[in-house]
Each structure stands twice: as C-alpha cells, then as structure tokens.
Amino acid sequence: MKNSKFLFILMLVSLALVSCKKTNTDPDGDITTGLHVQDGKYLADKCGNKVVLRGVNIGSVYAVNFGLKELEEIEKTGANTVRIVLERHYKDWSNGGALTPLTEAKIEPVITSCLAKGMIPVLELHDFTGSANVAADLPKATQWWTGAGIKSMLQKYQKSIIINIANEPDNGAASDASYADANTNALKVLRDAGYTCPIMIDAPNWGKDHVFFLYKGQALMDADPLHNLLFSVHAYWPTNGPFGNYSDAKITADFAAMKQENLPIVIGELAIADIQNGLAYNINYRLLMKLCKENEFGYIAWWWGFNNNPGANNQLSMTNNGLYSGLAGSGKAIAVDDANSIKNTAKRTCQ
C-alpha cells in the first residue's frame, strides 16, 4: 500500500514538472535549445550565451545567384549575422531578368550558406516598405510566410534563424495603437502556423520611430506566447535633414531611453547617411556603433554591396564590387577599422 502511495505521489510530481516545463516550450520542444530571446530581454544561443548581433544587410533578391558570392566575402568581416532582403517576386537574371515568384528552393541555399559560415540569417520581406496601410499589408506578409512551401522549408531551420515580418511596413500613417494591433495579429498568425523562432518587428515610420517600443514594446512581448521577439530600429537619424535633426546628445539620450526598457533592441539598419531625393544627409554612424557597444544593442549595417550585379550598388554600398578587398572609407570603418566595427566586436554563436 505504501509503495502504491509513493508511486502515485511520484507520478503527480513528474506531471507537475512536465507541466511547469511546458510553460517554456513550443509545440516542437524547448525553444532554449536554439536561438531564442531569454526572459524577454536579450537574444541568446542554444548554450545560453548572450548574442549581440553584428553584421550587414544584403540585397539577395537583387543579386545574381542570390548573393552567395557576397556571403563568402561578408564572412571575412567576422559578422555573426546577415539580414537578407527578400521579395515575393524577383528578377531572374538567368532568364533575362524576368519577374519570377520567389520559392523556397532559392532561399534555402542562402540560409545554409550563412549557417555554414557561422552567420545568423535574418530573413526580411521587403514588399511592404513604406506601407500606408499596415493593417491591410501585414496580413499579406504573413500569408507569404505561411505558404506551404516557404513554411515547411523555413521551419527546418527554426532553431537558427530570425524572421523579420516585414521591412519598415509603415510610412508614418499608422497610430501606435494600430501599428501594435497589426503586429500582434501577425504574430498570432505566425505562431499559430508553427513558427517558434525569434521574430523581429521593425519600428513604425520607416523603421525610425524608436519611441514606439518605449510605449508598446513590452505589450508586444507579452502578446507573444513564446516571448521570443526582437525590436528593430532603423537609425536614419541625420545630423540635419528634411525629416529631423539628431544631435549627438539626442541620440545618446534616445539610446539611454531604449536601454532603460530592458528589451531586446537591434539597430536593424545602420547607415552612413539618410538618402532623400538623391541627397545624402550624414549620420554620425560612429557614435551609433559606440552606443550599440556600450548598451549591448545589435547593429546590422545597410548595406554590403554587389559583386555580380554592380549596377545595384548605390551611395550606401559598403563595397562597390561586393568584395571584402573592396571595402573603403566608411564601409571599411564599419566592417573593420573602427574600434566598434563588426570585426572588432562580433562574436559567433556556439555550434
């Protein structure tokens, strides 16, 4: 009788432990066995080490062979992440530039190449940049992410990737409430579809409005059943320009305000200038890099540059031939030379 009672109690304790564990799990297992946001505060790898993202953006859909050559060059910087520009249709250069639906078969080699090089792929959908109606457009983005072929391929790599729902999906038209609601709804769709990886959300107003996360960041984190979100600010904050002037003091204060929220903040686009109507308004990018280091915020530079499609290069290309050896000026400073450069501050995740 005593043995039966002991076994019964042991069974209850075991069930309780399993139940407790499930509060930290996803349908496929414990999310901490892969890349994850720890306690809603910072990105961590499967070993529990804090991960501070350091890398570059690459326009894969504009590159020949989706930028596989460029990834080889980016690896030389020591970057631990690459943010990959995707669109639902791309120009197929092997077919005269014909507009072609983007399939999982085209994306997967980019993912596997990044992972083989120790770089975390951040996959972003670029179609809805500057949307005037985020409530209508984010469902279109989630529809693409949850399409059968794309979803089944990406979910093979859930423990190693980050999904950025949509790049800058607001042109300033959305209120804080409507932007938060649209992203909350998108999160639900993605989680219900079985996505458990970290999900990145861009700030509103072309990604620039960091203040949104001060007011709504924690509510968004709480709305995610996995508390597995990253908040991305695109710091197009020029010293003076047509859409605002950002002194060093203001930028420093803005970083302090973000840090105080204790949320996983990433500067998802860090550039040397804000380009408006073809004019470059200079950004104190070195200060941004310094503050990212001091506050343990990730940064991802915009953008690398093209080797096989040099016509796609522009004023913000870090290397105009897509090669590491082609880094020069500010591009080389961000990648290599500055004390807070990618090469000097990036740490790879445990394997």
Class of residue 290 by CB neighbours under 10 A (exposed 0-12, middle 13-18, buried 19+): middle
pLDDT of res. 29: 56
Give the DSSP letter string of 268-332. EEE-SEEEETTEEEE--HHHHHHHHHHHT-EEEES----SS-GGG--TT-SBTTSSGGGB-HHHH
pLDDT of res. 241: 87
Pairing type for strands 265-270 and 89-92 reads: unpaired
pLDDT tens readout for residues 297-347? 999 999 999 998 888 999 999 999 999 999 999 999 999 999 999 999 999
* Class for the domain spanning 44-345: alpha beta
Q: Length of the chain in residues, anyone?
A: 351
Segments making up each domain of the chain, as ranges: 44-345
- Cα gap 350→9, rounded to integer Å: 39
pLDDT of res. 27: 45
> How many C-beta neighbours within 10 Å does residue 227 have?
17
pLDDT tens readout for residues 121-132? 999 999 999 999
- Cα gap 319→190, rounded to integer Å: 35
Pairing type for strands 29-30 and 25-26 reads: antiparallel
Radius of gyration of the chain (CA): 21
> How many C-beta neighbours within 10 Å does residue 235 have?
28
pLDDT of res. 6: 44
pLDDT tens readout for residues 231-265? 999 999 999 988 889 999 999 999 999 999 999 99
Q: Is 74 helix (H, G, I), strand (E, B) or coil?
A: helix
Which pTM does this prediction carry?
0.91
Mean pLDDT by 10 residues, the chain (351 residues): 44 41 46 95 97 98 94 98 98 87 97 98 98 98 98 98 98 98 98 98 98 98 98 97 92 98 98 94 98 98 94 95 97 98 97 80
Q: What would the two tokens of residue 76 be?
A: 């030389």
CA 211-198-312 angle, to 5 degrees, is 75
- In Å, how far are 251, 259, 333 from 287, measured between CA atoms? 8, 16, 12
